[in-house]
A and B are shown apart, each in its own frame.
Chain A
């Protein structure tokens, strides 16, 4: 337990001490929020979709969490290259504790970034509605963070250097975001895209968060809860497995 705690604390310290990183990683969500949110607002309303900022904001919050969580896992590569990983791997604690500490710390950081983006969305005009599901918003945000911290840990454990990094961003993380229903509704989509959306774990996180915030579910609360919970447990397991196989 002590290892989980201290590695978690380490990541939080690194996060808080790096304002450049906090602000830097806000750039992308703000860009999407402003460009899409205001650019498409009129079109979305005319098509009968309602308030686009309200629809988009949960997606943008999810995006911020997704990126930060995956990065936190990929930080393993940096720690490997700059040496700190070794210090933890020769310590008399199980790999499971180490990886859980890392994933938890990364998830908390991603969640915190999600909260910051939440506030930015509010400033941009996002209004959530009061519903019995509202408290679940926090739950979905944290689950998205954990799920993708687990996924990032897989990459961080398997990759030896940063060469594969753009590949992961462009061919996995970006598609995960774009085909998650974060920026468009599921109605009227081509069949192939609908299937893709259904297979994307982030879709359920986005839908859960959107449902909790503006009471508008595409898959239904039960489905979202079940899928997100199961996938998070699964990814944490897979992440731990790959981390435990690291040899120096």
Chain B
């Protein structure tokens, strides 16, 4: 099996600030790869560059053998993604969100309808598929996003903090399914998380990024041995230190606050 993602000497600067600083790593096909790091370490920036929505300052990326900056369509066809923030249309039903995705990805009608029904059942939303997404809880939205990301049978699945704000039941459910998918269909999974126990349990390999640089790489077991820690959380803190990171609220966060105020509370 070959390498599904190859990143070499990747850099992203925002003016003076260096968000991603000469990182290199690769993810073999069919593996589950955890990309760990404190807030503001450069995880999401890296995912954006891998998924064609942000151009790197320098360095090279190959996703499924294609360059995200120049062969966007081939790369986009190869992956499914669950973003850190919700990305559903609240004013459409779950089914319509799925259908829209299927049409954008060119999934033929008959297959599309069959797969949508199977996937919403799989994430336990079969009964609620005709409901508007604005009626969904945070966990249900997440599950729907996972289902949606799989609709076009991607070779790679990007998950940017997919289980944030979910209860243990839902987390378990989602990860169980993703592991099965990886094992049975050879889907490569690239995920970020703040839950170290989660990374320890599901990841074949992890990379730890801090201040835009990769500070450690290997299987969770290797990292624990190297840092002489009992669990991955301690290993993570040993690698990245105790300092609490500050992340500036971006426009999206501010906007979300505004939206919440306008609608009288209660998104997510």
Contact = CB atoms under 8 A, between A and B. Distances in A.
A198 to B, nearest CB: 38
B103 A81 contact: no
B165 interface: no
B3 interface: no
User: Which of B87, B105, B256 has most chain A Cβ within 10 Å?
Assistant: B87
A89 interface: yes
Contacts of B89: 10, 14, 84, 87
Interface string A77-118: 110111110111111111000000000000000000000000
Interface in A143-201: 160-162
Given A87-B87, A90-B51, A10 B256 contact: no
Contacts, number: 82
B91 A89 contact: no
B92 A10 contact: yes
Contacts of B176: none
Interface string B85-103: 1111111100010001101
Contact of A2 (B91, B92, B103, B251): B103
Given A2-B103, A90-B76, A92-B76, A248 B251 contact: no
A81 B100 contact: no
Contact of A10 (B48, B54, B100, B251): B100
Contacts of A93: 104
A241 to B, nearest CB: 16
Given A10-B92, A81-B251, A161-B251, A86 B87 contact: yes
A82 B104 contact: no
B85 A88 contact: no
A3 interface: yes
B77 interface: yes
A161 B257 CA distance: 12
A158 to B, nearest CB: 13
Nearest to B90: A82
- What size tier do the contact residues of chain A reach? 20 to 34
Nearest to B91: A14
Most central of A80, A162, A248 by chain B CB within 10 Å: A248
A80 B252 contact: yes
Given A81-B251, A82-B259, A83-B86, A90 B106 contact: no
B237 interface: no
Contact of B104 (A14, A78, A88, A160): A88
Contact of B54 (A83, A161, A248): A248
B103 A6 contact: yes
Contact of A81 (B52, B101, B106, B256): B256
A46 interface: no
**Could you say which of B48, B53, B54, B81 has the most chain A C-beta atoms within 10 Å of its C-beta?**
B53
Nearest to B152: A92
A162 B103 CA distance: 30
Nearest to B73: A92
Nearest to B85: A83
A160 to B, nearest CB: 4
Interface in B98-157: 100-101, 103-106
B83 interface: yes
Leading 4 A-B pairs by shortest Cβ distance: A81-B255, A83-B87, A91-B104, A92-B76
17 contacts: A10-B100, A18-B91, A81-B252, A81-B259, A83-B86, A83-B87, A83-B88, A84-B87, A86-B83, A87-B87, A87-B88, A87-B89, A90-B52, A92-B76, A161-B251, A161-B254, A247-B53
Given A13-B91, A83-B83, A94-B73, 5 more contacts: A10-B89, A86-B53, A86-B83, A87-B87, A90-B76
